[in-house]
Amino acid sequence: MSRRILPDSVRATHGPKAPWLALAGGILFLLSGLLSWSYDDRILGDLSIRFYPAGIQLYAMLFGVIGVILAVLLLRRPPWLSPARGLRILGTTGIVFVVWIIASVAYQSGGLINANEGGWVALVGAVLLTLAGHLSPEVDIDVRRWPRLSSTLEIVIIVVLMAILLFTVAYTLDIQDGVIFASFLIALIGLAGGLLGTGFGGYLGFIGANNRRPLLLAAFLVAFLFPFTQDGSDANMSIATQVLIFATTALGLNIVVGLAGLLDLGYIAFLGTGAYVAAMLSSSGFATIGWKPPFVVVMLIGAATAATFGLIIGSPTLRVSGDYLAIVTLGFGEIFRLAMFNLDGNNGPDLTNGPNGIPAIPDLELLGFDFGEVHTVAGIPLGRFSNYYFVLLLLLMFVMLVFTRLNNSRIGRGWVAIREDERAAEAMGVNTFGLKLLAFSVGAFLAGLAGTIKAHQDTSVSPDQYVFLESAFLLSAVVLGGMGTVVGVLVGATILKLLPEKLREVNDYRLLVFGLLLVVMMRFRPEGLVPSKRRQLEFHEEDQELSELLQAEHLQAEHLDPEQLEPEHLQGAK
Amino acid sequence: MTVTDTATTGHEAGRVTVLEASSVTMRFGGLTAVDDVSMRVHEGEIVGLIGPNGAGKTTFFNCLTGMYVPTEGTVTLKGAILPPKPLKVVRAGMARTFQNIRLFGNMTALENVMVGRYCRTSSMALTSILRGPKFKREEAATRERAQELLDYVGLGRSTELLARNMPYGDQRRLEIARALATDPQILLLDEPTAGMNPRETEETMGLIFKIREGGLAVVVIEHDMRFIFNLCDRVLCLVRGSLLVEGTPDQVQSDHRVIEAYIGGDDEEESV
């Protein structure tokens, strides 16, 4: 797992200096926050003032704080942490961070001369941190020495983490300047990576696994409370609802891709099926079907239609190997879009109004609750988008429930077996075709469900919303976040939907940026940002070190002592 | 009836036939990998399948288990003709292991065996999502049975180990446990002791005897002659796809054609 750049002899002679280098690097970063980074005071939220850190200078100081913590850890050497790895991530990201800011200053104010001493001091600090990371010896993380905390303390940690999460989300959404937003994201990657990369992340996972219910409860509380922090403003809530729809759909896709291991390149068509069904059955003046059933019925019809399409596409293709499925689903996505484009009365029945789509879909009204109106709860106004946000949150919870329960069942075990070795799974009596078809149609069903709500939230449906690019984005969210996990997909979907909203400057290049991002991910972390352990193992079949570490973490989470696990017949031989 | 008669014929006639392969032939294009091989396996019997490399032993296994569709011939299990589909073969009661271990490496030992229970359980999507009492009962029973089988093959303590991290010999045992989880009437083992040291080989022999005690029929492919002749009630020797000799270990062991097939390549050329 370690990437050794420096020769062993250099590491041996200079290794002992590493903690002091790291300490110096951290202090330089802290110092740089107090210095001026730019001569020009009109850019990047004014970085010209000395001894009054703001914005980006504060981010630099956070790098310093983590650097100092890791330096102290290098000196103390706890057996369950490997600060070297954290330092390497922190230092490398630090260099990227500082170079990005110096470059931005130079570009925005017309010359490198405008970059003041702060940036250069920070650059030296970042290089020192990286060097320390490469010099210091690798620690074999011993997860058996994880500290045991009382359950109250563990829950306190979870609550604090959730509070940090809520604060970070609110803070991120508040940043208006694109360059500062990007700087913050880079800093966030470096800081989180530096802390969690030491092996602390595994420990947090252990705490989370110990307190699954409080963790879920806290997470949903945070999500539920979010609209109340927006003070009736719809700006961020509109982004949030889009993120939720995207995340829900991506999570449905993750059942197909992450759990069953099938590549679906036309998934957006199932979302579209649900949306079109809801539009056609809505009371819009442009709706083409006269029947207006209640929305719950519409949801079921939309989802069932999508699932039927899934069965029709899946049954002939799932018998053969994966590549064919990818091509057929790609084709199906285009067929769906073109069919919606052409069913306008001139070429066949008038169902979709062709390229014009079905506009003016009214807001939902459930049990007398009008989603179009502003409701005031506890003095805080909740607008139209907040109303949809709550429904979508319920839907997301439902999809999460389906995902995790299917994953932890006989069916989920069958899917893993199919991913591992399809022929062997079949020879052991696993109905491989049936399980793949099930994943495909459950995924389609959930997308259809999300589509019916999306139609009402968007107020219109048209063929150009359901192009191949959208399927590609959904797949990217799954791959980027982590195949086979719920949290990973939520992270991936949030990043992919939030970035284009916040980085308007680079919107024209967003495809280029996402493409690069995915290429980099495939090189350095193919299992995604928040991978499932099993997927991580699958992507690193040759990595014995990793499999033993994850094995130890698993035993620790099951509260088993590895010493007692030697098979009986081996114990005698020792 | 004399004593010798009961020893040879009564052994065959008095028992129920579990597996019967009649005139199984498998051709790949112009190559005949298995040529008109018939085999009968009785309840509680251990049958060995030997032959030099490339004799078609594993291909024959694949024909029996439905992984290949035989060009000619049929396979019947307890009188019923087996359709050449692995899934249906397992459900009918025949399970196998693989020559090159094919465990699910990234699952734990327990999970591997639980996958074997798949075809004997029935919870589907809706049951799994709703988590009713039936689901919980079945899940608990699956787990319990899997643990039982791990204890049975001597891996009771390795439950939570990842299959890929287990020692080689343990992986072979785990494969047997996984096959047993499908509640088979007959077990096909493809080189169960390949790569094992003498001690592990001996333990495997004990395990196979124990499985037979439980009433199962066992068919074993093996290269280790001592292992085969000590273990089996009856031995079949395949050479170049056809059945050369069938008989008790003593008969096969002393048959000069078997010895020729293994070591006597030169003799053959001379005789031609």
Residues in B closer than 8 angstroms to A551, CB to CB, are 161-162, 165
Contact A255, A430 (CB under 8 A): no
Chain A within 8 Å of B73 (Cβ-Cβ)?
no
| Residue B17, C-beta contacts closer than 8 angstroms, at least 6 positions apart | B40, B41, B42, B43, B78, B79
Last residue of some domain: A162, A197, A223? Answer: A223
Alpha-carbon span A521 to A528, nearest angstrom: 7
- A328, part of any domain: yes
Show the CA angle centred on residue A312, arms to residues A308 and A318, nearest 5°.
120
Q: Are A250 and A103 within one domain?
A: no
- Considering the domain architecture, whether residues A429 and A517 belong to the same structural domain is answered as yes
Is there a contact between B107 and A551 if contact means CB atoms under 8 Å apart?
A: no
Domain assignment present for A554: no
A137 and A51 share a domain? yes
| List of chain B residues with pLDDT < 50 | 1-11, 266-272
Cβ atoms B106, B94 nearer than 8 A: no
What's the CATH number where A297 sits?
Answer: 1.10.3470
Q: Are residues A157 and A266 in the same domain?
A: no
What pLDDT score was predicted for residue A215?
A: 86
Domain annotation covers residue A273: yes
State the smallest CA–CA distance between residue B244 and chain A in angstroms.
Answer: 29
Closest by CA position to A98, among listed A168, A41, A32, A48: A32
pLDDT at A1: 42
**Nearest chain A Cα to B66, which residue?**
A427
pLDDT at B96: 93
The full length of chain B comes to: 272
The answer as to whether A547 is a domain residue is no
Measure in Å the smallest separation between the Cα of B115 and chain A Cα atoms.
Answer: 6
In a domain, A393, yes or no: yes
Q: What is the DSSP letter of A197?
A: I
Report if residue A553 sits inside a domain: no
In a domain, A322, yes or no: yes
Cα A205 to the center of its chain, rounded Å: 16
Please check whether residue B105 touches A, CB under 8 A. Answer: yes
Least Cα separation, residue A410 to chain B (angstroms): 7
For each of the domains in chain B, give its residue range(s) and CATH number, in order of start.
15-93+184-272 (3.40.50.300), 101-182 (3.40.50.300)
- Do B107 and A423 make contact, defined as CB atoms within 8 angstroms? no
Domain with A73, as residue range(s), is 8-223
Give residue A494's Cα distance to chain centre: 6
Q: Under an 8 A CB cutoff, do B118 and A409 touch? A: no
d(CA B98, CA B232): 19
CA–CA separation, A546 vs A551, rounded Å?
Answer: 8
**A574/B contact by beta carbon, under 8 A:** no
Whether residues A420 and B107 touch (CB distance < 8 A) is answered with yes
How high is the pLDDT of residue A305?
96
Tally of domains within chain A: 2
Best of B97, B101, B106 to disrupt the A interface by mutation (most A CBs within 10 Å)?
B106
Q: CB distance from A113 to chain B under 8 Å?
A: no
* Chosen from A423, A428, A437, A571 to mutate, greatest number of chain B CBs within 10 A: A428
Chain A with chain B: Cβ pairs closer than 8 A: 136
Burial class (CB in 10 A: 0-12, 13-18, 19+), A183: buried
B118 touches chain A (CB under 8 A): yes
Q: Quick one: A343 and A492 in the same domain?
A: yes
Which residue type, as a one-letter code, is found at position A124?
V
Work out the angle at residue A161's Cα, subtended by the Cα atoms of residues A157 and A164, and round it to the nearest 5 degrees.
140
Picking from A410, A427, A537, the nearest residue to B96 by CB comes out as A427
* A142, burial (CB in 10 Å: exposed 0-12, middle 13-18, buried 19+): middle
Check if B165 contacts A (Cβ < 8 Å): yes
Shared-domain flag, residues A328 and A411: yes
CA distances A373 to A164, A377, A430, A457, Å, are 32, 13, 51, 13
The answer to whether A554 contacts B182, with C-beta atoms less than 8 Å apart, is no
Residue A569 lies in a domain: no
Which residues, at least 6 apart from B105, have a Cβ–Cβ distance to it below 8 Å? A420, A537, A541, B162, B163, B164
CA distances from A67 to A101, A419, B134 (A): 19, 41, 54
If you ran DSSP here, which 8-state letter would residue B196 be given?
-
Q: How far apart are CA B103 and CA B90, in angstroms?
A: 17
Interval A252-310: pLDDT, tens: 999 999 999 898 999 999 999 999 999 999 888 787 887 888 889 999 999 999 999 99
Exposed e or buried b for every residue in B3-15, given b needs 16+ CB within 10 A? Answer: eeeeeeeeeeeee
Distance CA A571, CA B18 (A): 38
Looking at residue B123, its amino acid is S
- The per-residue pLDDT for range A373-431, each reduced to its tens digit, is 787 787 787 888 888 999 999 999 999 999 999 999 999 999 999 999 999 999 999 99
Judgement on whether residues A256 and A396 belong to the same structural domain of the protein: yes
Are A219 and A245 in the same domain?
no
Interface check A553 vs B, CB under 8 A: no
Token pair, residue A328, equals: 């057929």
User: For residue range A465-488, what is the model confidence (pLDDT) as tens digits?
Assistant: 899 988 999 999 999 888 888 989
Rounded to the nearest 10 degrees, what angle do helices A486-502 and A510-524 cross at? Answer: 150
Cβ-nearest to A566 among B121, B157, B203: B157
Locate A147 and state its tokens.
């500290």
State whether A356 and A465 are in the same domain.
yes
> What pLDDT, in 10s, does the model give residues B28-84?
988 999 999 999 999 999 999 998 888 889 999 999 999 999 999 999 999 899 988
CB of A545 less than 8 A from some CB of B: no
Domain co-membership, A175 together with A297: no
Domain boundary (A198, A223, A248) is at A223
Q: From the list B106, B118, B157, which residue is nearest A568 (CB)?
A: B157
Instruction: Name B188's bridge partners.
Output: B96, B219
Report which of A92, A71, A82 is spatially closest to residue A197, judged by C-alpha positions: A82
Shared domain for A325 and A384, answered yes or no, is yes
Which segments within chain B are labelled E, that is strand? 17-28, 31-42, 46-50, 72-77, 80-81, 94-96, 186-190, 217-221, 234-239, 242-247
Statement to judge: residues A177 and A319 lie in one domain? no
CB contact under 8 A, A430 and B178: no
pLDDT beneath 70, residues of chain A: 1-4, 232, 321-322, 505, 561-574
Residue identified by tokens 């330089």 is A28
d(CA A251, CA A570): 44
Alpha helices for A175-211 (secondary structure H) = 178-195, 201-210
Question: Shortest Cα distance from B258 to chain A (angstroms)?
Answer: 32
Contact present, A396 and A251 (Cβ < 8 Å): yes
**Interface touch B158/A567, C-beta < 8 Å:** yes
